[in-house]
Amino acid sequence: MSSFPGRMKEYPTIAIDKFDKENLSARAYFLSHCHKDHMKGLRAPLLKRRLQCKLKLYLYCSPVTKELLLTNPKYAFWEKHIIAIEIDTPTQISLLDEITGEKEDILVTLLPAGHCPGSVMFLFQGLNGTVLYTGDFRLAKGEVARMELLHSGNRVKDIESVYLDTTFCDPKYFQIPSREECLIGILELVRSWIKMGPYHVVWLNCKAAYGYEYLFTNLSEEFGIKVHVNKQDMFKNMPDILCHITTDRRTQIHACRHPVNEEFMQGNRLPCGMRTDDNVPLRVISIKPSTMWFGERSRKTNVIVRTGESSYRACFSFHSSYCEIKDFLNYIQPMYVYPNVIPLGKTKKNVEDILKPFCRSNFDSPVVLYKPLGTLKRPKTTDPSNTDEDCVDLFDDHSLTYLRSKISRGCKWTSEIVKEENVSSKDHRNIDIPIGPSEASINFSLQKNYVDCEESNGEDEEDEEDFKEDESPTVHSNTTNGYMTSKNLNEENKVASGSQNVTADPEDDAVPKWCTFFHCAITKDNLSDPQECVSASGEHKCSQSPLLSDSDSDSTHISSINSSQSTHISEQGSQGWDNQADTLLLSTQEKAAASVCTLNRYPYLVLGFGEQVFTEASVAEAAQTNDRDHHDETSSVTSPVRPVSDRRKGNSQGEEGDHAILKSNSQSSSDFEIPSSPGAEQPKSPVLQYLYERLATGEPLMTDKQL
């Protein structure tokens, strides 16, 4: 939930998404989308009264948000005070102080946020700089790079501050299956059920909020069956949605809600109470859209989980994952970033620590100077307060991000000292910066390798968690050589290529990346198309560490859980993932067969699945409320879906195995198989020998010429 206070530092005379208390006195109001937690104070008597006094006081929002707001009678009084601004249309607004007569012009641009219908981000440009308020957003990796209005020419705009939706800004939400993946999973589940006959209906157990509409429209489009909803008048002017929903209960797909009445659902009845004419009982399955996430080490991308006899959860997220947030921010690289949301169990500082490395303010300030291979060995510290967190500070992305930033912003590459504020007091953190980009990067990767070697062994779980917070979203989580090397080479390639292409995602595939050079399944061809990389299989292929075989990660299953064997199965009976000892999952292999394209910011499926993702049997099972024995069969062949933390504790053997693979692989690749940077020569073996000896002893290194 947003805890954005309503005002931005740079433009304190406007109020966004919060309209109570001191925000009341704003010169203009902005609403990013129509969710209640962003509308606080919006119908308060005080505000209502203020509108009556000030005829030129306006609320700015997208046309869709305006429509949704005004169709709610409680907000009808805004009618004369709302100005809809078209998306992607820079619009000048005069902020007038009616008392002092003071006037300030500001240019605002609404950018699609992909959160719910009408949701936008606000880009403000004015005398106090350019700032971006994201509202709530879900943007897939690379999408930000395609937003023209965030660019000037072919460069990203110089953004002072980002006020960011950090709902899932926690490494545990590393990956959330893409909208396309989730949609395909749901479509296939629904298909499997409703095809069994006209009395088989599905109930989508959606919350009372906007955001599920694209689910409805896709289902309707796919099956030619309108979705039953309680109300549709808010969409009366949105034919694209309206034509896919209905208030007629006689349909096989329902998303109706009912003033909570327990006994209603117990007889597998629909909230709307729909019955068949001939009293044949309806066979209802419920699908509850819920956010599912996967840690970076999880290779599962199961989007449907069976939670009871006839109930399922389907992956669905309104917000960007950790990975997507990092991609977003890494692209924008503002001076400052302010979290709008503090995830549960996290502190503001936790979130800020994650975000900081992406801020120019951070890498502009104190630190880092480094020479080729010069101070590779970090002096061993005996200071007990020097924790792994320090290690993260020293060896995370700051400097590299900075260097890349300089390139992408057209700065000339020079040797200079970059200071890093929070570590400036620690001398040993100073690293010499080489003149040449390739040398810099190689040096950096070796440094990281060294430290990783030392630190990753014998780390406890918490330390590992700490590390993860700094990981690049493009690689798997582990603290071995392989991981860090991949990350650094990634950076190296960017630097070496000297890419100026700011319209392409820096983490994306336009820039050669580590996996390109190694024996991973990804070919240069499919790397060249960022779209494809993201959506063809619905996965970010490059987010998988090439060190791990991923051949089996794409098989489709349906999840079912053991608790369905107990006598009483209910919607609530099996909440949470922890108890899903047996899980049959809807996998994503077949998704590749489906072509998915994105219209506007919502995905629409191109029809034509060749195959049934679900087995007939697995779905039919749900209908057999008394037959509870054959779950064993499914459970035995599938893996449980459990939180990462659980998996750690419960599956240490598998964990060990992973480590072993990673270590052996990374050993060879990081030390000997690093491709030469363009223009750089690979050291000959005597030189290597020398280098390694020096490294081992921690003595200073001589340059090639000196040798």
What is the binding site for DNA (CB under 7 A)? Answer: 1, 20, 34-37, 41, 43-45, 115, 136, 167-168, 207-211, 259-260, 290-293, 313, 318-319, 343-345, 571-572, 575-578, 642-643, 646
CA separation, residue 258 to residues 200, 201, 269 (Å) = 20, 17, 11
Question: 284: which strand partners?
Answer: 201
Least separation in angstroms between CB 350 and DNA = 14
Q: Which two tokens stand for residue 503?
A: 């319209």
Whole-number Cα distances in Å, 393 to 372, 469, 688: 20, 11, 29
Judged by beta carbon, residue 104 or residue 571, the one nearer DNA is 571
- Shortest distance, position 37 Cβ to DNA, whole Å: 5
- Closer residue to DNA (CB): 343 or 366: 343
Strand segments (E) across 182-282: 200-204, 227-228, 245-246, 253-254
Report, in Å, the least distance between residue 484 CB and DNA: 27
Identify which of residues 113 and 123 has a Cβ nearer to DNA in the complex.
113
Q: Report whether 461 contacts 446 (CB < 8 A).
A: no
Closest CB 136 distance from DNA, rounded Å: 5
- Shortest spacing between CB 629 and DNA, in angstroms: 26
CB of 403 to DNA, least distance (A): 34
Least distance in Å: CB of 344 to DNA? 3
Q: Report d(CA 436, CA 507) in Å as an integer.
A: 22
* For DNA, the closer CB: 35 or 378: 35
Burial of residue 279 (CB within 10 Å: 0-12, 13-18, 19+) is: exposed
Which contacts qualify for 698-703: CB closer than 8 Å, 24 or more apart?
698/377, 698/379, 700/374, 700/375, 701/372, 701/373, 701/374, 701/376, 703/372
Closest CB to DNA among residues 74, 519: 74
User: Closest distance between DNA and the C-beta of residue 317, in Å?
Assistant: 7
Q: Of the candidates 209, 208, 206, 217, which has an alpha carbon nearest to the alpha carbon of residue 242?
A: 217
Q: Closer CB to DNA, residue 25 or residue 664?
A: 25
Instruction: Label residues 206-227 b or e (16+ Cβ within 10 Å = b).
Output: beeebbbbbbbbbbbebbebbb
Under 8 Å CB-to-CB from 397, ≥6 apart: which residues? 357, 358, 470, 472, 491
Q: d(Cα 198, Cα 283) in Å, to the nearest integer?
A: 9
Comparing CB distances to DNA, the nearer of 190 and 342 is 342
Nearby residues of 394 by Cβ (< 8 Å), 6 or more positions away: 378, 423, 429, 451
Task: State the nearest-atom distance from the C-beta of 457 to DNA, in Å.
Answer: 27
Task: Name the minimum Å distance from CB 572 to DNA.
Answer: 6
Least CB distance from residue 181 to DNA, whole Å? 15
CB of 18 to DNA, least distance (A): 11
Q: Choose between 143 and 509: whose C-beta lies nearer to DNA.
A: 143
Task: Give the nearer residue to DNA in terms of CB position, either 172 or 244.
Answer: 172
DSSP state of 50: H
Q: Which is nearer to DNA, 254 or 319 (CB)?
A: 319
Query: Can you tell me the distance from the alpha carbon of 565 to that of 369, in angstroms, rounded to the nearest whole number?
Result: 62
Q: Which is nearer to DNA, 1 or 617 (CB)?
A: 1
What does the block give as tokens for 120?
A: 């936008």
Q: Whose Cβ is closer to DNA: residue 212's or residue 395's?
A: 212
Minimum distance, C-beta of residue 295 to DNA, in the bound complex (Å): 9
Tell the smallest beta-carbon distance from residue 604 to DNA (Å).
Answer: 22
For residue 572, the 8-state DSSP code is G
CB of 64: closest distance to DNA in angstroms? 14
Total residues belonging to the chain: 707
Q: How far apart are CA 49 and CA 141, in angstroms?
A: 44
Residue whose CB is less far from DNA, 41 or 436: 41
Choose between 127 and 208: whose C-beta lies nearer to DNA.
208
To 5 degrees, how large is the angle CA 665–CA 669–CA 674?
A: 165
How much helix, strand and coil, in percent to the nearest 5, is found in the chain? 35, 15, 50
Rounded to 10 deg, the angle between the 437-456 and 652-672 helix axes is 150
Distance, CA of 553 to CA of 299 (rounded, Å): 6
Q: How far apart are CA 631 and CA 614, in angstroms?
A: 15
Question: What is the DSSP code string of 536-552?
Answer: TSSS-GGGS-TTS--TT
Between the alpha carbon of residue 348 and those of residues 166, 234, 265, 355, 394, the distances in Å are: 10, 37, 40, 11, 21
Using the minimum distance from each CB to DNA, give the nearer residue, 137 or 338. Answer: 137
| Closest by CA position to 577, among listed 645, 509, 512, 522 | 645
